[in-house]
């Protein structure tokens, strides 16, 4: 049991019998009106279900097998098929009226607007793909993308995918060491960045951070820089090139053949933190991933041509990859992408844009909802939010109080909330309501069609309804990660070794008598801060890289708005004295190495860290102690 289970338990208890039946207006025209019949059909024949969905998209040549499970857990989907996700995101729409439809509306923090039709987006992507080719980027090469939330970010991702290069996007809020580690592990040849990014009225010095990271990473031959802030930046002759200069060259032609890829060819890698050690590169592929994200966005958020979809995540994390960049384009939707913070300069920013663009579906993280809730109802109430028809939540458990506020104040009790549980590794929604499903505040309801999940004990046996246990997935799904790039053993070890045949999510959960799942939190060394996924190991190694520090342990403690906040326990080297100044220096050091989101809220100097006899830090004990809760079973504690 997690120390915070008790808190979550009370929330679940209060909301378990609070049922919100589906809204008849929403269901009447929804893609899926009857959950049971499709679920039954998909359970009986998951491969048939996914193959039918795959046929809604275009393939260069068909598969000869939907699922190959002969080398478990290295599952392969749509085996033998040829495809390219970008063909379905862009090229396909050039043959229809959607060519002239808006694909992307972008608004900056300052209120500047840029829009791209499918035609325009396709042209930009093709031009940039030609630029990449001219710089020697080929199928299979890795490209690191480290940018703010600007349209050139999805353009760069799509251009890579179009020519078969593997993109590795590093969240623009990360800093030097985090960026360096990811460039080095991926052995990227090329990096794409911006001269800076605007966030919360300030400038994030992306290029400067990139320069510093590259001093530590020798593989990168060139850096392409998008001008965003217009500030003077260092441009290294022979290495650094301006995006706008390159896009003005004759080589940046608007026609570019989309590379024919195998369904199982890599599309991208995305680093994420897990248990122990450095972050791992989760690998997704062109074929199955495309089918999974297309189907889930279409069914769960009921996407139609009339919709205006807004996924308010950051493209640098999986939510943005799947549901800002790829899936909306696969569905032919119009999306909004917003550069900045929800509260800058005022907490009206989001509601203003919902009204201005007639947003019909808003998908956001609980941390943002809680943050906006703090400012009161008057802010949203000033705007006409009647265009909204569906809401969504992702990234961490949503507490029933925030759920009810979102439902009542934003959705005016008309808009069902799709609380989607999933992970970087799953690629797509896994446990999620559909508009036709009755909701309970804080539950993701049931697994998506064709997916089987369960809650099990230490031995892998299902627990009783209402009991807490490990959340596992029992069957393969098309958008599942294929491996950890460069480390297949770790893939097997991390996800498939605790219970052979079951995929270990790293989450603790419970199931109620209606079969609804309730997520409690991470049981491993992952901390979710404002929905962002961080590893204790990375924070600790940033601390230890500071000369005065001998050992460190980081934990996440429950926080009202951010979900969790970081506390770090630090053991100094002999001769070093603890002080408030040193604590502040260490916080800044973590910020410099890892990024502002990883900065511990508090640094606590200790003489000893609780460890098991085998030397593993018992973070659970630190956490219980900090929360003033019972410390649980201490039999493995060293002394
Ligand atoms: C948590 C984000 C409760 C969970 C898409 C998971 C959630 C981790 C939910 C993955 C949700 C995500 N309710 N918890 N609706 N969605 N999580 O890889 O702990 O950044 O394991 O992917 O976020 O985080 P990741």
Residues 283-314: pLDDT tens digits? 999 999 999 999 999 999 999 999 999 999 99
User: Assign residue 230 a region: left if phi > 0, alpha if psi is -120 to 50, beta otherwise?
Assistant: left
Q: Which atom of ligand 1 is nearest to the CA of 425?
A: 18
| Nearest protein CA to atom 6 of ligand 1, as residue | 423
Q: Which atom of ligand 1 is nearest to the CA of 505?
A: 21
* Residue 50 clears pLDDT 80, i.e. is over it: yes
> CA nearest 246: which of 144, 128, 156, 145?
128
Distance CA 22, CA 610 (A): 49
- Give the pLDDT score at 639: 61
Nearest 5°: phi and psi at 163?
-100, 5
Q: Report pLDDT digits (tens) over 510-540.
A: 999 999 999 999 998 899 999 999 999 999 9
Evaluate: CB of 445 within 6 angstroms of ligand 1.
no
Enumerate the H helices of 216-253 as residue ranges: 243-247
* Residue 44 clears pLDDT 90, i.e. is over it: yes
* Mutation pick for ligand 1 pocket among 421, 495, 510 (CB with most ligand atoms within 8 Å): 421
Instruction: Decide the pairing of beta strands 113-117 and 65-68.
Output: unpaired
Q: Count Cβ atoms below 10 Å from residue 609 Cβ, excluding itself.
A: 18
Q: Count Cβ atoms below 10 Å from residue 628 Cβ, excluding itself.
A: 7
Evaluate: CB of 564 within 6 angstroms of ligand 1.
no
Evaluate: CB of 423 within 6 angstroms of ligand 1.
yes
pLDDT category of residue 8 using cuts at 50, 70 and 90: confident
Residue 241 CA, ligand 1 centroid: distance in Å: 37
**Could you report how far apart the first and last alpha carbons of the chain are, in Å?**
22
Q: What is the mean pLDDT of residues 138-159?
A: 98
Determine the 3-state secondary structure of 48 from DSSP.
helix
Q: Give 600: exposed, middle or buried? Use CB within 10 Å, 0-12, 13-18, 19+.
A: buried
Evaluate: CB of 478 within 6 angstroms of ligand 1.
no
Residue 532 CA, ligand 1 centroid: distance in Å: 9
Q: Report pLDDT digits (tens) over 453-510.
A: 999 999 999 999 999 999 999 999 999 999 999 999 999 999 999 999 999 999 999 9
Enumerate the H helices of 135-186 as residue ranges: 152-163, 176-186
| Nearest protein CA to atom 12 of ligand 1, as residue | 395
Q: What is the mean pLDDT of residues 319-333?
A: 98
Q: Count Cβ atoms below 10 Å from residue 69 Cβ, excluding itself.
A: 13
Mean pLDDT of the chain: 95
Residue 519 CA, ligand 1 centroid: distance in Å: 9
- Give the pLDDT score at 485: 97
Q: Which atom of ligand 1 is nearest to the CA of 533?
A: 20
- Give the pLDDT score at 275: 73
Evaluate: CB of 600 within 6 angstroms of ligand 1.
no
Distance CA 203, CA 337 (A): 19
* Mutation pick for ligand 1 pocket among 394, 511, 518 (CB with most ligand atoms within 8 Å): 394
392 and 361 Cβ atoms separated by less than 8 Å: yes
Describe the strand order of the beta sheet including 222-226 as a list of residue ranges: 240-242, 222-226, 190-194, 142-146, 166-169, 266-272, 280-285, 483-484
Distance CA 613, CA 625 (A): 19
- Which of the pair, 115 or 624, is modelled with greater confidence? 115
Evaluate: CB of 527 within 6 angstroms of ligand 1.
no
Residue 144 CA, ligand 1 centroid: distance in Å: 24
Instruction: Decide the pairing of beta strands 197-199 and 517-522.
Output: unpaired
Distance CA 492, CA 497 (A): 6
- For the full predicted model, state whether its pTM sits above 0.95: yes
pLDDT category of residue 637 using cuts at 50, 70 and 90: confident
- Give the pLDDT score at 628: 86
Q: What is the mean pLDDT of residues 382-393?
A: 98
């Amino acid at each position: 049991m997690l120390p915070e289970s008790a808190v979550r338990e009370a929330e679940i208890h209060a909301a378990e019998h609070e049922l919100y039946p589906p809204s008849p207006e929403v269901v009447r025209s929804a893609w899926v009106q009857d959950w049971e019949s499709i679920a039954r059909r998909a359970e009986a024949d998951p491969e048939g279900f996914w193959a039918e969905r795959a046929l809604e998209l275009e393939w260069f040549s068909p598969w000869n097998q939907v699922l190959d499970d002969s080398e478990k857990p290295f599952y392969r989907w749509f085996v033998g098929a040829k495809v390219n996700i970008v063909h379905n995101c862009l090229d396909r729409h050039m043959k229809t009226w959607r060519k002239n439809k808006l694909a992307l509306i972008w608004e900056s923090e300052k209120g500047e607007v840029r829009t791209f039709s499918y035609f325009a987006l396709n042209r930009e992507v093709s031009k940039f793909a030609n630029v990449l080719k001219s710089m020697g980027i080929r199928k299979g090469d890795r490209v690191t993308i480290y940018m703010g939330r600007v349209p050139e970010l999805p353009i760069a991702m799509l251009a890579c995918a179009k020519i078969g290069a593997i993109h590795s996007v590093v969240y623009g809020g990360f800093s030097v060491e985090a960026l360096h580690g990811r460039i080095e592990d991926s052995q990227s040849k090329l990096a794409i960045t911006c001269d800076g990014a605007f966030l919360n009225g300030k400038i994030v010095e992306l290029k400067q951070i990139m320069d510093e990271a590259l001093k530590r990473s020798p593989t990168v031959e060139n850096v392409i820089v998008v001008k965003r802030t217009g500030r003077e930046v260092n441009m290294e002759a022979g290495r650094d090139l301006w995006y706008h200069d390159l896009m003005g060259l004759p080589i940046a032609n608007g026609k570019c053949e989309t590379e024919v890829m195998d369904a199982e060819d890599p599309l991208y890698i995305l680093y994420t933190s897990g248990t122990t050690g450095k972050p791992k590169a989760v690998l997704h592929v062109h074929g199955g991933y495309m089918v999974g994200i297309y189907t889930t966005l279409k069914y769960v958020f009921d996407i139609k041509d009339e919709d205006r979809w807004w996924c308010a995540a950051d493209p640098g994390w999986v939510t943005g990859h799947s549901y800002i960049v790829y899936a909306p384009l696969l569905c032919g939707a119009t999306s909004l992408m917003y550069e900045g913070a929800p509260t800058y300069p005022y907490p009206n920013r989001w509601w203003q844009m919902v009204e201005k663009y007639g947003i019909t579906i808003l998908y956001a993280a609980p941390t943002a909802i809680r943050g906006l809730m703090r400012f009161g109802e008057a802010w949203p109430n000033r705007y006409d939010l009647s265009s909204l028809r569906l809401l969504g939540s992702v990234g961490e458990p949503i507490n029933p109080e925030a759920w009810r506020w979102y439902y009542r104040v934003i959705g005016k009790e008309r808009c069902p909330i799709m609380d989607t549980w999933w992970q970087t590794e799953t690629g797509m929604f896994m446990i999620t309501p559909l508009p036709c499903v009755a909701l309970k505040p804080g539950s993701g309801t049931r697994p998506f069609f064709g997916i089987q999940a369960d809650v099990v004990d230490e031995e892998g046996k299902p627990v009783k309804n209402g009991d807490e246990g490990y959340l596992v997935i029992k069957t393969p799904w098309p958008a599942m990660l294929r491996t950890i790039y460069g480390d297949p053993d770790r893939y097997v070890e991390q996800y498939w070794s605790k219970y052979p045949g079951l995929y270990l999510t790293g989450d603790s959960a419970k199931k109620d008598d209606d079969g609804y799942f309730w997520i409690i939190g991470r049981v491993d060394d992952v901390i979710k801060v404002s929905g962002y996924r961080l590893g204790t190991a990375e924070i600790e190694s940033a601390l230890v890289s500071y000369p005065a520090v001998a050992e460190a342990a980081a934990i996440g403690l429950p926080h009202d708005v951010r979900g969790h906040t970081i506390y770090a326990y630090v053991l100094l080297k002999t001769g070093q004295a603890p002080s408030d100044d040193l604590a502040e220096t260490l916080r800044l050091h973590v910020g410099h190495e890892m990024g502002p989101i990883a900065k511990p809220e508090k640094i606590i100097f200790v003489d000893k860290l609780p460890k098991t006899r085998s030397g593993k830090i018992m973070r659970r004990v630190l956490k219980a102690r900090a929360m003033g809760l019972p410390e649980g079973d201490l039999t493995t504690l060293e002394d």
